[in-house]
Structure 1
């Protein structure tokens, strides 16, 4: 499966990238970066750090949008720390950023590859994906799909009472993506909050005895502290790795094909994902909305794959 990972690392983004690079079922064609959890200069830096940690200095990393389509940028250093990757002391990367804009790379890649070959995997705000679709609307029909982390229905929001961070940051971009006509799968808070870290799961990362295992344990140790205080739960949800795990093991997940719309106008509910879970409207289904995850299976897969890294020097 050929994938492009669009990301704003972020500890959980980092784990998602590592999972993808550790999985032979996936061919990662490139990593595109967007401003989100931290500003763009840090997301591009962090993506390259993680690629090098995985032994993949050959991976192409592109810079994309440094702000949302129509709003001021909102970041999440309160969750991820000032660097975005607080919790792991990773060296400055040697690999360069690629020339060109992330949206251009996405368009060129989808056009170059066979129809139905490429899956886009957005792990942050959807700005780069929306820019690519604006530039070349026809690529929607060439995609195998868009599998994204964002939104919430039963869990609702984590940055406001009604909105999840990725959608809240750029709701206009999310609206474009959901209306583009490509097959869309959403891994929302409803799913990812079922994939909590625990002491045993973090200990299993550290017990790998590798630089990757140590880094992931450190990242998750830091990431946990916010949600433990906020929600009073044992650990933290590893949101973004759920996207990659869904591609690898869809049987670990369940959901419904439903209509999902994005609230754009209301200041009170900006970025809310309005999910017609019960089919009470006549709006056409436009996304597969995942509600449940087998957490034990998810963490078993994640730990097994992380143990394979680095796969290359």
Structure 2
């Protein structure tokens, strides 16, 4: 089993990523850490509690993390995720029955990585990279202990919050620069890949047919997500970004990647937050970054449906 820390900002697609990680038998979900991103830290932390409550996952601890970026002002995505950060249609979310731990998320990440066997824990950040960057600066020894960082964020091509930048890297580009710059293996599962993971009506019908609380929860998420994405960005069907990173951890053959140096632009007036992949030459032996390029869509959705079915 792959030991995973899921650092997230739920978020519709974060919610699906949580279900995939929790419901797949090949992942041991050590805990959730939350970070301000899709909405404020209060909202995304409550949303994480509600996802675990719906799924009956009382054994997965939640740790509240950074409320704002390292330097930037707070930026949220209410146009996509609604006033609560996880707007839902046709499903009543329960009151949270899973508590939030007292320890700060960054401290817990560091303590967990220092306690677990080196090379056994994978970090999966699906929001702004503030917590991960702070952890690396708080205790630099964790860098050599992490198996790999598989993050949802960035883009080789066009961005989504600006023409150049994807939301997670735009919100906290300084944190992203730290994470990409550390000497640990980084896999960037960006928009080039995640825009292939569309929640079509046929996909939604697969979850509806499960006849379970988790299945109905996903249907409600997709219904709201579809409407918001169409209004905000013109998508007929919404791209479900975050579970793509989890799918790579479960089975790397579902996601094709290419090794390439990646840097984060911090100074450009029109390009701040852009992830710049340098394809000019073959990567050197010291290249520790890779970007995702192609998704096996059918196998991806099979993984997600199977995980949601297992949770009931």
Q: Which runs of 4+ in 1 moved over 6 A?
A: 280-283
TM-score, normalization by structure 1: 0.95
Counterpart-to-counterpart distance in 1, 2:219 and 2:83: 18
Corresponding residue of 2:178: 176
Q: Name which of structure 1's ranges 220-229 and 268-277 shifts more when overlaid on structure 2.
A: 220-229
- Aligned-residue Cα RMSD (Å) equals 1.5
Alignment of 1:216-231 (within 5 A): 216-231=218-233
Q: Name which of structure 1's ranges 271-280 and 253-262 shifts more when overlaid on structure 2.
A: 271-280
Question: In the TM superposition, what is the alpha-carbon distance from 1:279 to its structure 2 partner?
Answer: 2.7
Residue number among 144, 147, 152 corresponding to 1:144 in the alignment:
147
1:225-244 Cα offsets, whole Å, 9 max, x none, are 23334554431111000011
- Secondary structure in 1 aligned to 2:69? coil
Quickly say closer, same or farther: Cα 1:236–1:29, change in 2 above 3 A. Answer: same
Q: Name which of structure 1's ranges 125-134 and 286-295 shifts more when overlaid on structure 2.
A: 286-295
Counterpart-to-counterpart distance in 2, 1:4 and 1:301: 19
Corresponding residue of 1:242: 244
Residue segments in structure 2 that go unaligned for 5+ positions in a row: none
Corresponding residue of 2:63: 62
Corresponding residue of 1:98: 101
Q: Conserved in 2, the CA contact under 8 Å of 1:259 and 1:284? A: no
Q: Count the aligned residue pairs.
A: 309
Corresponding residue of 2:294: 292
1:148-199 Cα offsets, whole Å, 9 max, x none, are 0000012x20000000000000000000001111111110000000111111
Corresponding residue of 1:107: 110
Corresponding residue of 1:83: 84
Q: Conserved in 2, the CA contact under 8 Å of 1:187 and 1:242? A: yes
Counterpart-to-counterpart distance in 2, 1:96 and 1:68: 25
Q: Name which of structure 1's ranges 270-279 and 195-204 shifts more when overlaid on structure 2.
A: 270-279
Question: In the TM superposition, what is the alpha-carbon distance from 1:94 to its structure 2 partner?
Answer: 2.1
1:245-286 Cα offsets, whole Å, 9 max, x none, are 111121111121101000111231110001113438989633
TM-score, normalization by structure 2: 0.96
1:11-60 Cα offsets, whole Å, 9 max, x none, are 00000000100011111111000000000001110111111111111211
Corresponding residue of 2:38: 37
